[in-house]
Amino acid sequence: MYQYNDFDAAFVAERNAQFRAQVERRISGALTEDEFKPLRLMNGLYLQLHAYMLRVAIPYGTLNGAQMRQLAMIAETFDKGYGHFTTRQNIQYNWPKLKDVPDILDRLAEVEMHALQTSGNTIRNVTADHFAGAAADEVEDPRPTAELLRQWSTDHPEFQFLPRKFKLAVTGSAADRAVIRAHDIGIQIVEKDGEIGYKIIVGGGLGRTPMIGKTLAEFLPKADLLPFVEATVNVWNRLGRRDNKYKSRIKITVHEHGIDDIRARVLTRFEQIKPTFKGVDRDLFAQIQQNFDAPAYRNAPVDAHTAMRLANPAYASWSDTNITAHKNDSYAIVSISLKKHGATPGDASADQMRVMAELAETYGHDELRISHEQNVILPHVHQSDLPAIYAALREADLATANIGLISDIIACPGMDYCALATARSIPVAQEIAERFDELKLEHEIGALKIKISGCINACGHHHVGHIGILGLDRAGVENYQITLGGDGSEDAAIGERAGPGFSAEALVPAIERIIETYLDVRSEKAETFLQTYRRVGMGPFKAALYPDSKASAA
Amino acid sequence: MSRSFTPKVITANALLEGDVIYWSPEGTWVRTLSSAEVFEDEAVAQEQLLTASSQPAVAVGVYLADVAITDDGPTPIHFREEFRTRGPSNYAHGKQVKLS
Ligand code: SF4
């Protein structure tokens, strides 16, 4: 795993000391809120509906046991005993007090963590496939590339005052688990004629104007990555609109100028700046890569797992949904669901964090990942250890067997916490999960992604949910708009609006009608919701959602 | 000619904890809506808003929020303001702890 170098440590220490002084001056009244706000945002500190919120970066979602334990300690000492894992692979604390935040940042620095670039118009925390380094279908581990991008963008003088925030995501697999087509720049590691390179996608993004990214380069030689990405950011930095916050993201620049024009400009700029890189970035990459060596895999029989599957149906069900193929045949990737039916998606208590840390240390080569789907991953587990892990997870109330199913819902904090929200999202997720658990239908329904956002900013990725839910304020009442057919994978698509929104009370029954329709019209059990939707279109779902308008039209 | 004015309270977040606060008839910040001063006159509300905004080391983001006057005192009109009187719906955290 990547180890901080001296520069990183000194940089973070200096920034923390500065922020401590700024907090003191704010509390004494020497700084006004207008002066302080940009400073606190640069350090990941937001003022939300009921309290401050601190957003801590987990670069490309990777952390070790000691870091997870420290997150648990912070949750207990400075917050209300839990943390919220987000769709950006970060963790948020919902109740820190202003005076404690400098201490929290110091505690984070002890384990090489920080809250920098989690906010503001900078290049944000680079995200990656949460199965990075472990997935059976991977061309190369995307994390060294993500780390290279992180080091290059951190405190880069040109990138502190961009037209708007800028988000990068990297995957090493063709199966896109990092939603790279909904990022400002999405990077896929690809192989062509035995050479490894990058496919570069630009101009994706959700929010008010959702767009699927377009291909900027089909195959970029590895050595060209930083100059090419820098050229892209340069072009946007010059063309990007600063006059209107809703038109400032690169997706709009790409949309307004067209991908061919942008590509031509990027290539011109790339030729200019490429010589200035002089290969330092390649040396750096080689150094970084050493820190991401595969763990020393163990060679042992896997019978324990096979036997347990036969003996224990609950275990078999859990291993059906929560385990993914590892590149080493004797290993498995374990997804720990933070979506117990009725619980808040993405929340983990301090005790649960410690259990996950311990499991990583004992069985998982000390590695943990946070997924953008708000779950926690043990990427390297020998299959013979799976029964012991399952038992420990059950003890900690973490063994919900629902990864990829209807109750594995992404939900942003919504109006329970977020100052920007137009409606709540958490209670909606809780109700849907509980309802389908009660109906005992979720395994019958199979693969289905519901994603919920509490406002148009779309932190809950609702546009790419197979079923997307957007909470709005309609004349002072919470109202929920449904979209269908969205997809965050390599076949990315923006969901289509089904029609008028639903009140909070009418929403869960509406979702039930969608599911009944799917179960009715699917060609066979193996046809997923998304496949069915693509085959039959909106028609049958619309008829089920709005039976009255159908009757009146008939 | 008086145009209709929806009664209002002055509200903000406390600088130190971020907790929701309201401006009281005594000219201090209090933690519960029931202790807030309700303004039925726009000019007075605006004048008090200025006074309340002059304590930047106590309150952040001072604004006027609509309320209805009921037998139980002022109650929020918008659901966002209602949530602010209580706290989140997924845990018994925030103001609801003391209210219950
Ligand atoms: S989508 Fe809106 S409500 Fe949800 S976290 Fe983002 S800004 Fe807040």
Residues A503-552 pLDDT 10s? 999 999 999 999 999 999 999 999 999 999 999 999 999 999 999 875 44
Fold equal for A134-292 and A310-395: no
The minimum-distance atom of ligand 1 relative to the CA of A418 is: 8
User: What is the nearest CA distance from A427 to chain B, expressed in angstroms?
Assistant: 7
DSSP A160-210: SS-SS-B-EEEESBSS-SS-GGGSSEEEEEEEETTEEEEEEEE--B-TTS-
CB B89 to CB A427 under 8 A?
A: yes
Q: Domain spanning A134-292: which CATH class is it, in words?
A: alpha beta
Written as six digits, the tokens of A339 are: 């979506």
Higher per-residue pLDDT: A23 or A246 = A23
How many angstroms separate the CA atoms of A133 and A379, rounded?
A: 8
Q: Is the shortest distance between the CB of A457 and ligand 1 below 6 Å?
A: yes
Distance, CA of A436 to chain centre: 24
- Give the ipTM: 0.95
Note the CATH number of domain A410-553: 3.30.413.10
> Looking at beta carbons, which residues of chain A come within 8 Å of B13?
47
- Residue A124: CA count within 13 A, CB half-sphere: 25
Residues A299-309 pLDDT 10s? 999 999 999 99
Nearest partner of A414 among A448, A369, A370, A462, judged by Cα? A462
Note the CATH number of domain A6-110: 3.90.480.20
Q: Which pLDDT does position B100 carry in this prediction?
A: 67
Token pair 């008090």 is found at B48
Residue type, A170: V
- Residue A207: CA count within 13 A, CB half-sphere: 19
B6: left (phi over 0), alpha (psi -120 to 50) or beta: beta
How many angstroms separate the CA atoms of A469 and A429, rounded?
A: 10
Torsional sign, CA A213, A217, A222, A226: negative
> Which of B33, B90, B93, B97 has the highest number of chain A CBs within 10 A, making it the mutation to test binding with A?
B90
| The model's pTM | 0.95
The minimum-distance atom of ligand 1 relative to the CA of A471 is: 3
> Which of B19, B33, B54, B79 has the highest number of chain A CBs within 10 A, making it the mutation to test binding with A?
B79
> Domain ranges in chain A?
6-110, 134-292, 310-395, 410-553
The minimum-distance atom of ligand 1 relative to the CA of A421 is: 3
Residues B22-69 pLDDT 10s? 999 999 999 999 999 999 999 999 999 999 999 888 999 999 999 999
Taking domain A310-395, whether its CATH number is 2.40.50.90 is answered by no
A 455-474 near B (Cβ less than 8 A): 473
